[in-house]
Structure formats: structure tokens, C-alpha cells
């Protein structure tokens, strides 16, 4: 193992709520949190929270948070000795991880070789299969329609076309018959090439009504590897997770142990170090198959932190500095139940179309068992340049029913005036009887929430008016009070003449 490195100044190569969340742990550890910001983000919350911020110049992701040279130049200029990529942007870019290390900086993430291996779904499948981890029946890389037809017949319809380099639902198509295959294959290749610069696709057996269950893993640089139990992430829209929870109602202790061991073996097969997530497709009859490995911190990591009492970012930094794991598998315990809802600036009643604008008023939920990892403040502007996630709301309680009820109450009290948000949709979702009964397969939204429309909520409006009229607001409010705020008629903003 390489020698230990002292980490005093960390560049967070990201933005939004994850940059804020990382910065807060760094400060608790006595480490300087260094940030970067595009032109639209110079007054964003992460830029206000960080100890020092380097402007990147520009607006688009390609000319800002995806520009490796700019990020590395900022790290050098601010005297960073380590880089934490968060998730998204450059977090799973093996060449960037290698460039960070070649610049003499500590990469707070897995080795570049592990990122490259697991970043290609075909090589990842091969590696974990050799380690004895179950994989979904699939094909090699495909471009020839005749070979695709033969492979689909061998696997058996329905099949799913997947992008080898992909993620986030890009380059994916479900094909239920031979007649659909060729057109779907070409469409998936076009989408994959546009999204990832690589049009390689392959086939997998499509599992009907699956659950998406993943295991958090953590490994040190000497190969000691543990898992921190599972998260269920089955409720998705357009293959993007929006609700996550732990533990999963689908697992008994035998399956939980078996899947946890498979996750650890998958990580070892990748020569893994640091935090990562092994994702499985879970089908009927308790069968599970390796899906992919995310070589980074996951969006949904707070539910694991809430139930295990472990700060994953802190342990990422410790492992990156050369420290051994602070606990063994037997020493990891958890209690209670945690649910996370991703809060987006989007309109669920209009196909989840992104929304933008100034946040005129913001009332965040609080109370026992409530955590809100946010990247915005009242007066901040939500732009169209980046992912529209505003925050991640997490609720913890002693059991699942209590956690769901707490989440519904928290969402009903979470008020944002300005851009449309997914909050009312999520509140109705977690209150749905099917969710409460644990029927949380990946078809939940089309099956139970199709045609959803928001309901009028006079109590929420009254609470918002009370908050707007409160004496604390006269003093300016939160982190960015006054920024972008203009006088406005509350009744006009609510579209009503009175309660």
C-alpha cells in the first residue's frame, strides 16, 4: 500500500447539494473545503458554503464542471492536496482520476483502473461473473442486426438493449418482439453515441416487474472490504431514481446476507478501494442479478448514513489518505428505517418537464428524524444549465410505516414558491396505499401514478402565508436572503384571491 497522505485542503469538483454536503463533513474534519463555480453558480449555495471558490467561467457543463483542465488548474491555484468528485460530472471519469493522481493530488475515490473496468458494463459483467456473482443472461457487443436477432432468440424475449458506456436510462430500449428489434437497436445506438461518445450496445434479458436493490460497499487500500447493507431504489421515472429507502421490504436475512456477500465479491473483483455501490436487479422468486457498479458516492447515500450512523464522506477521506477501514463487517449495525425523496424543480403533471426561476419563498421541513441536504436558498435562481435537483429530503423512524408517515408530513410542509417542484407528487406517492404495502417495483409510477394532478392544499398555502408574514423574515432570512428577490403580490403568485 502507498504511504499515508495528510489531507488539509480538498477541492470539491462539483456543485449543488452534493458539494454542500461534502463541504460540511470536510469542515467537521478540520479540512478546508475548496469550491469551483460556473458563472450562473457564483452565488449558489455551494459557493457560499466553501472556504474558497475559483470561478470557472462559462455556463454549460462542458465548459465548466466537465472541463478537466479548468478543474485541475483551480486545484493548483488554491493549493489543494486532494480532489473529491461527488457524483455526476467527472466522478466516474477514469482519465480525470488518473490526471488528478499524476498532478500529485489525492483522488478521493476508487483507483482509475477500477473506474475504467466497472464503467464499461460488458467488462464489468465479465469480471463479476468470474468472481461467481450472478449476472443477467446477455449478449456481447452488437452492431449487426442479424447477430442481434440471433442473440435475442437465444436469450428469449423480452430483452433490453443497453448502452455499454451508459447510465441514467440513456441508450436503453425494451424490445418484446423480433419486429421491434432492428429499429430499437439503431435508436439505442444513436442515443448512446450522442450521450456518451460510444455507440456500443448489447442485450440483456428483461426482467418483468423487477426491484432495483443496491448495496453500499466500502473498501480500504489494503483490500479490506465491507458492505453497509442495502438500499431499494425501485421507484423511478424514465429510469431515474426518485425515492430510495433502507431496508428493503423484499429481503429476508438470508437473501440480505447472500446479496451483501455478492456485492463484496464484485468490489474485490474490481480491485476496489473507497466507497462504491453494487446494483442488482431483483426478480420474482428471490433471484437477483448484478446490474452495474457505481464507482462513486451515490445520490441516495444519506439513507445508509441515517440507519448505520456512519458518515460515508468522512470514511472516503480517511481511506483516500491511507487509513485502514475503521470497522469490520461484524461491527456494522443498523436500526430503524430511512426514506429519501429527491426534490426536483420540475412539473410532474407535465411529463416532469424541468422548471426554472427564482425561489421567491422557501420553507424547509424540520423536526426529529428529518434531514434535508439542499443546494438552494430563498432568493437563489434555478437555471436551465444543470440537473434540476434542489435537495434530498430524508426521513428516519423506528419502522417503515412511521418513516413513510413522517416523510409525507415533511413533504406537505416543504414549501417552495417560484419554480414548479416534484414535492406534491412525492407527497401523494409516499401516502399511496401501494407504497405503504411495499409494492415498490420499477413500474410503480406508470402503474399507480399515471395521470397524476396536484390537489389544492389550503393548509399548505396558509402555512406559506404565515411563514412569509413571520417576523424572522423581516430580518432577511437564510443564506442568500435578498438575492434576486423582487417585491411581488403573494395572492397573485399563488393564483388565488383568498383562502
172: domain CATH number? Answer: 3.30.1490.20
Q: Are residues 292 and 388 in the same domain?
A: yes
In terms of domains, do 229 and 271 share one? Answer: yes
Sign of CA dihedral 108, 111, 112, 116: negative
Quote the pLDDT of residue 452.
95
Residues 67-75: contacts with CB within 8 Å, 24+ apart?
68/93, 68/95, 68/96, 68/99, 70/36, 71/11, 71/13, 71/36, 71/96, 72/99, 72/100, 72/103, 74/11, 74/34, 74/36, 75/11, 75/34, 75/100, 75/103, 75/105
Contacts of 442 (CB under 8 A, 6+ apart): 209, 210, 211, 212, 234, 235, 236
Check whether residue 272 and residue 417 sit in a common domain: yes
The predicted structure's pLDDT at residue 285: 84
Residue 323 lies in a domain: yes
The pTM of the whole model exceeds 0.75: yes
Is the confidence at residue 10, as pLDDT, over 70?
yes
Q: Is residue 127 included in any domain, yes or no?
A: no
CA atoms of 291 and 483, how far apart (whole Å): 44
pLDDT value at position 473? 52
In a domain, 80, yes or no: yes
For residue 158, pLDDT over 50 is answered with yes
Residue 3 confidence class, pLDDT cut points 50, 70, 90: confident
Number of domains the chain is built from: 3
Res 391: pLDDT = 98
pLDDT at residue 196 above 90? no
Structure confidence at residue 193 (pLDDT): 87
> Is there a single domain that holds both residue 278 and residue 416?
yes
Sign of CA dihedral 88, 164, 300, 314: negative
Q: What is the DSSP letter of 104?
A: T
Q: What is the pLDDT of residues 27-80, one digit of tens each?
A: 999 999 999 999 999 999 999 999 999 999 999 999 999 999 999 999 999 999
At residue 340, does pLDDT exceed 50?
A: yes
- Please say which residue of 91, 108, 125 terminates a domain: 108
The answer to the question of residue 128 being in a domain is no
- Residues 240 and 326 reside in one and the same domain: yes
Same-domain status, 186 and 254: no
Scan for cell 439503431, then name that residue.
186
Residue 481, pLDDT > 90, answer: no
pLDDT tens, position by position, 266-302:
999 999 999 999 999 999 888 999 999 999 999 999 9
SS3 309: coil
- The CATH number of residue 17's host domain is 3.40.50.20
Given 108, 128, 162, the domain boundary residue is 108
* Same-domain pairing of 19 and 151: no
Q: 423 and 392, same structural domain? A: yes
Task: Write out pLDDT tens, residues 420-451.
Answer: 999 999 999 999 999 999 999 999 999 999 99
254 is catalytic: no
Backbone angles phi, psi at 385, to 5 degrees: -80, -25
Is 411 within the bounds of a domain? yes
Q: What is the pLDDT of residue 491?
A: 46
Measure CA 269 to chain center: 24
Higher-confidence residue of 134 and 171: namely: 134
- Strands 82-84 and 9-12: what pairing? parallel
Find out whether 43 and 72 touch, Cβ atoms under 8 Å.
no
**Contacts made by residues 175-181, CB under 8 angstroms, sequence distance 24+:** 175/206, 178/149, 178/152, 178/153, 181/145, 181/148, 181/149, 181/152
Q: Does residue 27 lie within any of the structural domains?
A: yes
Number of Cβ within a 10 Å radius of residue 28: 11
For the cut 50, the answer to whether the pLDDT of residue 164 exceeds it is yes
What local confidence, expressed as pLDDT, does residue 476 receive? Answer: 45
Q: Are residues 181 and 225 in the same domain?
A: no
Q: What is the pLDDT of residues 367-414, one digit of tens each?
A: 999 999 999 999 999 999 999 999 999 999 999 999 999 999 999 999
- Residue 322 placed within a domain: yes
Tell whether 309 and 392 lie within a shared domain. yes
Closest CA to 371 of 304, 281, 459, 448: 304
Q: Which of 205, 232, 248 is the last residue of a domain?
A: 205
Residues 284 and 395 in one domain: yes
The mean pLDDT value of the chain amounts to 91
pLDDT tens, position by position, 88-127: 999 999 999 999 999 999 999 999 999 999 999 889 999 9
Are the CB atoms for 375 and 34 separated by under 8 Å? no
Domain that holds residue 50: 9-108
In a domain, 346, yes or no: yes
Residue 337 has pLDDT above 60, yes or no: yes
Give the angle 334-338-344 at the CA atoms, nearest 5°.
145
227 and 186 within one domain = no
Point out the catalytic residue in the list 9, 173, 189, 296.
296
Mean pLDDT of 475-499: 45
CATH of the domain at 373: 3.30.470.20
> Any idea which of 240-249, 407-416, 490-499 has the lowest mean pLDDT?
490-499
Question: Does pLDDT of 460 surpass 70?
Answer: no
Amino acid at each position: 500500500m502507498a504511504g499515508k497522505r495528510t489531507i488539509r485542503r480538498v477541492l470539491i469538483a462539483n456543485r449543488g447539494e452534493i458539494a454542500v454536503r461534502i463541504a460540511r463533513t470536510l469542515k467537521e474534519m478540520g479540512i478546508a473545503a475548496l469550491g469551483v463555480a460556473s458563472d450562473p453558480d457564483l452565488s449558489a449555495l455551494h459557493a457560499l458554503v466553501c472556504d474558497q471558490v475559483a470561478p470557472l467561467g462559462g455556463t454549460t457543463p462542458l465548459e465548466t464542471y466537465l472541463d478537466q483542465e479548468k478543474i485541475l488548474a483551480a486545484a493548483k491555484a488554491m493549493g489543494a492536496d486532494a480532489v473529491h468528485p461527488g457524483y455526476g460530472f467527472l466522478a466516474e471519469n477514469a482519465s480525470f482520476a488518473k490526471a488528478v493522481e499524476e498532478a500529485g493530488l489525492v483522488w478521493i475515490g476508487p483507483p482509475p483502473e477500477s473506474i475504467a473496468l466497472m464503467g464499461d458494463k460488458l467488462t464489468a459483467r465479465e469480471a463479476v461473473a468470474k468472481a461467481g456473482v450472478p449476472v443477467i443472461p446477455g449478449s456481447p457487443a452488437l452492431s449487426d442486426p442479424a447477430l442481434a436477432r440471433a442473440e435475442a432468440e437465444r436469450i428469449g424475449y423480452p430483452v433490453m438493449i443497453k448502452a455499454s458506456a451508459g447510465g441514467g436510462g440513456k441508450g436503453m430500449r425494451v424490445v418484446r418482439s423480433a419486429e421491434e428489434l432492428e429499429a430499437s437497436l439503431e435508436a439505442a445506438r444513436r442515443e448512446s453515441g450522442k450521450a456518451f461518445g460510444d455507440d456500443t450496445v448489447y442485450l440483456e434479458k428483461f426482467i418483468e416487474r423487477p426491484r432495483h436493490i443496491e448495496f453500499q460497499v466500502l473498501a480500504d487500500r489494503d483490500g479490506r472490504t465491507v458492505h453497509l447493507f442495502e438500499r431499494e431504489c425501485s421507484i423511478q421515472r424514465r429510469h431515474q431514481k426518485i425515492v430510495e429507502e433502507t431496508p428493503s421490504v423484499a429481503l429476508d436475512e438470508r437473501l440480505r446476507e447472500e446479496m451483501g456477500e455478492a456485492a463484496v465479491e464484485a468490489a474485490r473483483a474490481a480491485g476496489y478501494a473507497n466507497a462504491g455501490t453494487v446494483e442488482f436487479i431483483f426478480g420474482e422468486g428471490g433471484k437477483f442479478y448484478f446490474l452495474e457498479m457505481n464507482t462513486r458516492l451515490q445520490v441516495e447515500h444519506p439513507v445508509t448514513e441515517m440507519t448505520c450512523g456512519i458518515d460515508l464522506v468522512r470514511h472516503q477521506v480517511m481511506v483516500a489518505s491511507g487509513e485502514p477501514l475503521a470497522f469490520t463487517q461484524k461491527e456494522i449495525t443498523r436500526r430503524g428505517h430511512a426514506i429519501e425523496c429527491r426534490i426536483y424543480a420540475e412539473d410532474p403533471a407535465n411529463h416532469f418537464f424541468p422548471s426554472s426561476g427564482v425561489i421567491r419563498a422557501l420553507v424547509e421541513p424540520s423536526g426529529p428524524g428529518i434531514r434535508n441536504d439542499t443546494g438552494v436558498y430563498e432568493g437563489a435562481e434555478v437555471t436551465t444549465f444543470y440537473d434540476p435537483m434542489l435537495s434530498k429530503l430524508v426521513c428516519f423512524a423506528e419502522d417503515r410505516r412511521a418513516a413513510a408517515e413522517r416523510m409525507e408530513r415533511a413533504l406537505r410542509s416543504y414549501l417552495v414558491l417560484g419554480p414548479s417542484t416534484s414535492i406534491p407528487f412525492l407527497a401523494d406517492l409516499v401516502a399511496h396505499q401501494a407504497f405503504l404495502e411495499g409494492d415498490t417495483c420499477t413500474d410503480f409510477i406508470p402503474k399507480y401514478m399515471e395521470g397524476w394532478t396536484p390537489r389544492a392544499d389550503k393548509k399548505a398555502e396558509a402555512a406559506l402565508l404565515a411563514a412569509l408574514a413571520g417576523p424572522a423574515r423581516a430580518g432577511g432570512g437564510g443564506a442568500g436572503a435578498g438575492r434576486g428577490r423582487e417585491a411581488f403580490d403573494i395572492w397573485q403568485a399563488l393564483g388565488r384571491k383568498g383562502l
